[in-house]
Amino acid sequence: MRILFLSTWYPYPPTNGSEIRAYYLVRSLTQSHEVAVVAFSHNRTLTDGEAAMPAVHGAVYPVPVDPFRYVQIPQILKFASPIPVACWPSKLMRQTVTQVAGSGRWDAVVALQSPVARYALLLPSVPRVLDVDTAYSYQAYERYARQIGFTGRLRTWASLWKVHRYETHLFRQYQTCTVVSPMELAYLKNMTSTPDSRCEVVSNGVDCQHNYPGIVQPLPKSLIYNGALTYSANYQAMQYFLDEVYPRIKEQEPDVSLTITGSTAGVDLSGLRLDDSVRLSGYVDDIRLLIAGAWLCVVPICQGGGTRLKILEAMALGTPVVATSKGAEGLDIVQNTHLLIGDTPEVFADAVLRIMRDNNLRERLRRNARALVEQQYDWETIGAQFVALVEETVEGQTGRSTDHA
């Protein structure tokens, strides 16, 4: 089959969760089908190697536009916009998709996330698959649910209503939609409840061949948080951890250290309780070395949708994890078998200290977590599931067209 893949994120090199997901879904499709990729490149200057996208066999068309270029506009303009600002149309993306769409016959079009979903409609007779990842309206609902004051609830309700209406209209024009967790599946099915739509969970995954235990020796009493502070959910997680949890750990283990990975460009670090024991690594070429080199991984996430690739990566690399229930949401894990859960500062700190001090517990968590990701979250398995869904969507539409002929 010839498949046109539209992506909100440029898949290579994969440096954040969305790029990783895009890269492995595209790579899986190219193993058995001809795929062309049209992706926002977020104004990045691509090297020849990045533009060629290794392991992806097919034409690649970078669109040098940042789809989130308007998210910093004044709130009054966001409020007045009839659609989410992240989904405002791009003339250049439309032109590129139209040009590529006209280059031959396409059997399917796959779109990754809401900002590119509208462009798949430029191929009206081609079967469509939307990998929602995490619906913006689901995230808006979570923000609304957290609000307490009347003004805040009114403002977030208006935002929720707008994005829900936009995504509902858009998603219902897809034959198949996929999300990363069962909670979001229930939400999506309610949005797209039409006889011709299909909704499925396609989990996030990890490359178990690339990520394996023993790459480096871990440093005792070292913690890691793998997440760029440029993303608000990561910033809030570290703010909470450094204010409420980390001091409790340091009180009992003064030699503890913490590494926070990822970009800090444009981030106000004055809002974080940093000291000499906290290291900001910035972007690194091979994040595996930092994760595998830590004694354990902390994931104190309190907001945001989707599932945490940072947890799967740590598990694959043999680094034990302590997370909040929100951080571990959507993953098929068992407390005290695959990781430890802490939903209060006291319980979270105690869980970290238990792993630091109990080598038997640490080894058991490492072993069980690695077995879990090999069995359920390897990209080889998840990618094959996604490819099968795309193929079934095409077959279903072809059969329906034949029946109506």
**Cα–Cα distance measured from residue 87 to residue 327, given in angstroms and rounded to the nearest whole number:** 27
Helices first, then strands: H and E counts in the chain: 15, 13
| Angle CA 389–393–398, to nearest 5 | 150
Distances (CA, A) of 167 to 69, 137, 162, 177: 20, 7, 9, 12
Give 257's strand partners: 222
Given this model, what pLDDT does residue 145 score? 78
Beta strand spans in 315-383 (E): 321-323, 340-341
Please measure the distance between the N-terminal and C-terminal CA atoms of the chain and give it in whole angstroms. Answer: 22
What is the spatial distance between Cα 52 and Cα 68, in angstroms, rounded to a whole number?
24
- Please give the pLDDT value at position 405: 44
- What is the side-by-side order of every strand in the sheet holding 60-63? 60-63, 34-40, 2-7, 108-112, 128-133, 176-179, 198-201
Q: Is the pTM of this model over 0.85?
A: yes
pLDDT digits (tens, 9 = 90+) for 107-117: 999 999 999 99
**One-letter identity of residue 327:** G
User: What does the pLDDT read at residue 24?
Assistant: 95
Q: Which residues contact 16 (CB under 8 A, 6 or more apart)?
A: 9, 228, 231, 262
10-residue stretch averages of pLDDT, the chain, 405 residues long: 96 88 95 95 80 77 91 78 87 97 95 96 96 82 78 80 88 92 83 71 94 95 94 92 97 97 90 95 92 97 78 97 93 95 98 97 97 96 97 82 48
All structural domains of the chain, each given as residue ranges with its CATH number in brackets, are 2-205+379-404 (3.40.50.2000), 219-376 (3.40.50.2000)
Res 195: pLDDT: 54
> What's the pLDDT at 399?
60
